[in-house]
Amino acid sequence: MKSSKNKRLINKRNPRRNRQIIGGAFLFAVVAIFLLFIFRFSYIVASGKIDDQNLTKKAEALYQDDSVLKANRGTIFDAMGNPIAEDSTSYSIYAVIDHRYTGSNDKKLYVTDKNKVATVLSQYLPMSKKDILKTLNPQNKKTFQVEFGTAGQGLSLAIKQEIENHNLRGVYFTETPARLYPNGTFASHQIGLAQQSTTSKAGTSTTALTGVMGIEKSYNKILSGTNGVKQVKKDSYGYQLPNTKVKQKAAKNGSDVYLTIDSRLQSYLETLLTKAQTKYDAKGFNAILMNPKTGQILAASQRPTFNPQTGASLGSFWRDTLTEDAYEPGSVMKVFTLASIIDAGKYPPNSYYTSGQVQVGGSTIHDWNTTGWGSIPYAQAFPRSSNVGFVHLEQILGEKEWLEYIKKFKFLQSTNSGLSGESSGSIQFKSASDQAITSFGQGINVTAMQMMQGYSAIANDGKEMKPQIIDKVVNPTTGKTTKYKPVTVGHPVKKSTTKQVLKDMQDVVYKNYGTGAVYKIPGYRIAAKTGTAQISTANGGGYLTGDNNYIFSVVGMAPAKNPQYVLYITMKQPQNMTESPEKILSEIFNPMMKRALEYNQGKTTKTDQATMPKISGEAVNDSVSTLTKAQLKPVQIGTGNTVVQQLPQAGEKVLSNQHVFVMTNGAMTMPDMTGWSKSDVLKFAEITGKSVKISGTGYVTKQDLAAKSLLDSTKEITVTLQP
């Protein structure tokens, strides 16, 4: 015990030995750590990586500045080289109000004079000074920046420059790539729409325009082009490093797409459809004008439609009804039934049948004139549009041969016209009654484009042409042109057959018992066929009832002897049917076909159209005078003295005596809407951004907000329409 105790005391009294032990341990630890660093460093040097991160690339990224060289989106042109859709730039305004936002030498980069900013902006934005000040003083005191809603978006370069001239501290703009549609409502669903989309790659976000419907979508890859890149070696201050080169891969701009659409005819068709839609408030219109010799679409549109420039009326209705909607065509289908039985050599024009009604497979089929016309020859079945007569003709032809002709005319398959989302259609052909009703356009679903393709065969000596809306694609860099030639898709009937069908189509217009006398055009011979198709109920268990619950239609070919044009128009469920369906459709068909025929002969025509002048940025009094001289009706919204927005946009085609909306600076005010159409009310809602509840059909007779009242705090306006 004593010896052990003495040993411990000796150790405690020997600090030198203790230091040696501790020093040795410390030296060992240092050497171990040093060796570990050497090993780690050697590994990094050898592999060039740390934590699976490539150090070489990290270093390059630190000193290398990569910038995207954006490709220009191709322009869409009409047949005469006028731009329909082209790249543009719009601007949005915002204001920084955070006092911590300063520059070098503590320069104030935030709004320092809110009263001045509000005063100036109220001259260029459709907002009152009071509302702008309210925006500049948000309840949340920590707000960094504020925006001005729709009033501060989509500003033109001219308005941006005007505001910048006032040198407002703290007021800034963002630049946004945009697509310019200078014609406004112009084959909108067919041309389509390109909108901003953002993609991320390697940590870099790129904003570009992407087609989301119509030709903009189906030809998006061709129109988009390919972005380039610019690489520059820079120091920590952002300057290019000496003895380094700029690496650049040029952008490849998108190709330009040229259409077959004739702007003169297209603009006129839009005018006529707008006029008819305003007057008769139909749930839908389709209209297509085609050159049957080539299949080229010269004009095409639909209702409902929208303005791609403003996005007004787009809503959730994205369908191109010319290609995506399959419907029962009604009696305009009799053109193909007649052509089929004539071509098969089984047509008995001089034989008689009893009109009125017929029993088929346990079902009774009636003529539109339920009492019929007694015993009449089959030659009258077509001009009288007798369903009973065509049931008998289908039975004479035979269901098997009739179905073969349906397929020869290329129904039940897409036309592949170049427009996206095209439907193939369908047919119900099992029972005898199913087969019978297809002879007059029920029980078979078609698209408007399929009908046009089939009609081309009748107007083109039996040679059926594929509908064509793209004329050519031109690469702006190389100049390479890809021409889209007319495509023949078949020869369903003989030339002699088409001559007989065209003769019978003239009987529709010129015989005293024909259903299409209203489609006569003085100086021109017209071949036509009318149609009235029932509309299936939502559950498909029957058809809607009521005088207006039909799809009314007309197809016309002119000149009848050798047609240069085919015009097909449908109208679905007019809500304000103050005229007969034939009369309503003739208000579109006759002037449209006449305009096309006159152009074909090189004639100039007087038009009731005008081109919307540019009035934005002008004095209100001067603008009102300009519009009045142009035979337009200005509607002033606001108490200011300068025009800050206009609708329609400058350059758009407008009707004489059409309402033009003039938005002034300062507070917005309510106009007197008495006598306005539904279309005018919707345009008012578009330019003001106000919610408008519309009750009834026809024209405005009542509004719940008095004229000249301020719109600033109004949430919803209710207007009542009556026929």
**Burial per residue of 23-35, b for 16 or more beta-carbon CB atoms within 10 angstroms, e otherwise:** eeeeeeeeeeeee
Half-sphere exposure of 347 (CA within 13 A, CB side): 21
Query: Which helix H or strand E contains 434, and what residues bound it?
Result: helix 432-438
In this prediction, residue 10 carries a pLDDT of: 47
In this prediction, residue 4 carries a pLDDT of: 52
**Which tens digits make up the pLDDT trace of 436-484?**
999 999 999 999 999 999 999 999 999 999 999 999 999 988 889 999 9
**Which tens digits make up the pLDDT trace of 301-351?**
999 998 888 777 787 678 999 999 999 999 999 999 999 999 999 999 999
Which CATH number covers residue 190? Answer: 3.90.1310.10
Q: Are residues 250 and 162 in the same domain?
A: yes
Domain boundary among 240, 259, 278: 259
Over the chain, what is the mean pLDDT? 87
Give a yes or no: residue 507 inside a domain: yes
Q: Are residues 516 and 451 in the same domain?
A: yes
What's at 185, amino acid-wise? T
Q: Are residues 549 and 639 in the same domain?
A: no
Q: Are residues 430 and 484 in the same domain?
A: yes
- Alpha helix (H) ranges present in 233-309? 263-280
Give a yes or no: residue 315 inside a domain: no
Give a yes or no: residue 54 inside a domain: no
Whether the CB-CB separation of 322 and 467 falls below 8 Å is answered with no
Give a yes or no: residue 522 inside a domain: yes
Position 683 confidence tier, pLDDT thresholds 50, 70, 90: confident
Q: Are residues 339 and 481 in the same domain?
A: yes
**Which tens digits make up the pLDDT trace of 373-415?**
999 999 999 999 999 999 999 999 999 999 999 999 999 999 9
- Per DSSP bridges, beta strands 426-427 and 375-377 are unpaired
Domain boundary among 565, 600, 635: 600
Residues with active-site annotation:
331
Tokens representing residue 162 in the block: 């005007």
- Most confident of the ranges 26-30, 40-44, 181-185, 394-398: 394-398
Q: Are residues 592 and 616 in the same domain?
A: no
Higher-confidence residue of 715 and 681: namely 681
Which of these ranges, 446-460, 605-619, 699-713, has the smallest mean pLDDT?
605-619
Q: Are residues 376 and 499 in the same domain?
A: yes
Q: Are residues 359 and 247 in the same domain?
A: no
Give a yes or no: residue 201 inside a domain: yes
Give a yes or no: residue 55 inside a domain: no
Domain boundary among 600, 630, 661: 600
State the pTM of this model.
0.78
Which CATH number covers residue 279? Answer: 3.40.710.10
In this prediction, residue 519 carries a pLDDT of: 98
Give a yes or no: residue 72 inside a domain: yes
User: Which of 318, 386, 330, 329 has the alpha carbon at shortest distance from 358?
Assistant: 386
Number of domains composing the chain? 4
Give a yes or no: residue 52 inside a domain: no
Q: Are residues 591 and 653 in the same domain?
A: no
Q: Are residues 565 and 666 in the same domain?
A: no
Cα dihedral 400→379→453→387 (10° resolution): -70
Q: Are residues 82 and 98 in the same domain?
A: yes
**Burial per residue of 50-67, b for 16 or more beta-carbon CB atoms within 10 angstroms, e otherwise:** eeeeeeeeeeeeeeeeee
**Which tens digits make up the pLDDT trace of 203-224?**
556 678 999 999 999 999 999 9
Domain of residue 464 covers: 263-309+321-600
Which CATH number covers residue 683? Answer: 3.30.10.20
Q: Are residues 132 and 41 in the same domain?
A: no
